Structure 1
């Protein structure tokens, strides 16, 4: 069984840190799910799973060096280098939602707010309302969306400079925003020595689940090949 969740996920399926879901920090999600299934359970970070999905069935099937950005109020990114998922030493690679801790900027939920109070990271209805008001011409909402897009541009540029991907794939609900791609392409051309291609996710909301499925299939195939190899040596 493959599963995916926001946060930094350890090899045993424990959520070491979950900023979007603070109550999940320290949760043994893999162990919890294993109680319901009589088979191995693999737990992966959601952006990592989505990156695998886009490489398998999405917009990056012909690219082995990609960055997938799961854009939202708690953004994250997953990267494939040479066709292999790059998790980093402790599984924290791609956690661009923490850039504001370095003084980079205020949090996305503050950038996208049209009031003095930040949005809740999981309040999708409030996010949808801001975007709807922006499309209707509300000046405060349009300014909020513009601030959010600029933050997204800077986050992606930082990843592109560090990893030099062939393609950057934008997913999450930001993939549905008008005018996301052109600012990204323009700013990446400005900041990067070799600007990557930029495209929207083809899998949409199915990207994370599709990636979890692919990772589960990879595990099954590894086990099958291991058994076949052991049998052949006898």
Structure 2
């Protein structure tokens, strides 16, 4: 695609073109009159801008609905299908991948199991298979993809290197961004998985509109993401939310209460043990209920510390264990009420295990907006 903000258009027309694209992405399809009103332009001026954007391939006319009487007004939409984005969730036991259009609408998803102790080459190969599966399912070529955005376990520095990973030994001190650039011919984004999960919650989930949020990323391991002032907080060294690293918070070993519960039948796969305990507690098993109580007590310690520091509007229980919010949320609320000066709203995520891969897609969409659809950094090519 051509450069909307380059030398082909005057500065004024550049701004008008970007205004039109933003309006169509937010509220399209729109008629020419509605688009002109949103952009503050005359209808003839907007017609010139729209024609140019259609020539460049960013906008197309929407066919009229079947059965429409008379001559319908022409409507236009942003061509979100003019490129694609890939999101990846690199977990300890699974690699999830999703492919979306430029607006973040997910078109295909795949999952590849992987062992936490798998060697580096095996884990990288699982990532490649998951991404290839998305391309195959959506009949998308490598050339159609613009960007890959990855959420991963571990402490990640600003350059995309994994500084520390307790769950995956092969991941420690790994230049993950460099590895992915060798695997894929696309722009690479790397972020901590819990922060991406928080981003997904703020953009698509129960935290939409909330400005200060503690997101509890709970599953077979524990993590947290913070939203401050409506934005995901990374911290000076991109290490915010790592309260699991504080032994006194009791988060690191908290899931063991669920994994090692005596109610879990012998021979249950380790990845299913916690789910069995939570289901048994839901059904009234006293041993399972006691295990859940111990787990929630540990969860409450670190959560209360974050609530007391941030004073958030909302605490969101997310991640794989959010499917058992009916068992976990009320006892967590009771413990926070006993510790916190002011109780935030408590909500359960509806994104479940998909929170990280969805957040990775949203991170790519945001990055695309910053690169292509703003003028803050001067003229940039409206291509990848």
TM-score interval, normalised by the smaller of the two chains? 0.7 to 0.9
Please name the residue that 1:102 is paired with: 248
Please name the residue that 2:277 is paired with: 130
Structure 2 contact 245–252 (Cα < 8 Å) conserved:
no
Please name the residue that 1:30 is paired with: 177
| Greater strand content | 2
TM-score, L = length of structure 1: 0.86
> Could you give the per-residue CA deviations for residues 149-169 of structure 1, whole angstroms, max 9, x where no partner exists?
221222211111111111111
Match of 1:183 among 321, 324, 331: 331
Structure 1 contact 157–191 (Cα < 8 Å) conserved:
yes
State how far apart, in whole Å, the 1-side matches of 2:251 and 2:376 are.
51
Please name the residue that 1:212 is paired with: 360
- Segments of structure 1 that go 5 or more residues without pairing to the other structure are 116-121
How many corresponding residue pairs? 224
Task: Give 1:106 shift.
Answer: 7.4
Structure 2 contact 244–250 (Cα < 8 Å) conserved:
no
Please name the residue that 2:348 is paired with: 200
Secondary structure, aligned partner of 1:229: coil
Task: Give 1:69 shift.
Answer: 0.6
- Segments of structure 2 that go 5 or more residues without pairing to the other structure are 1-147, 263-268
Radius of gyration: which is bigger? 2
Please name the residue that 1:118 is paired with: none
RMSD over equivalenced CA pairs, Å: 2.3
Please name the residue that 1:221 is paired with: 369
> Could you give the per-residue CA deviations for residues 27-66 of structure 1, whole angstroms, max 9, x where no partner exists?
2221111123222111111110010111101101110111
Task: Give 1:103 shift.
Answer: 7.2
State how far apart, in whole Å, the 2-side matches of 1:150 and 1:184 are.
7
Query: 1:58 and 1:103, CA in 2 relative to 1: closer, same or farther beyond 3 A?
Result: closer
Secondary structure, aligned partner of 1:182: helix
Structure 1 contact 184–198 (Cα < 8 Å) conserved:
no
Query: 1:106 and 1:70, CA in 2 relative to 1: closer, same or farther beyond 3 A?
Result: closer
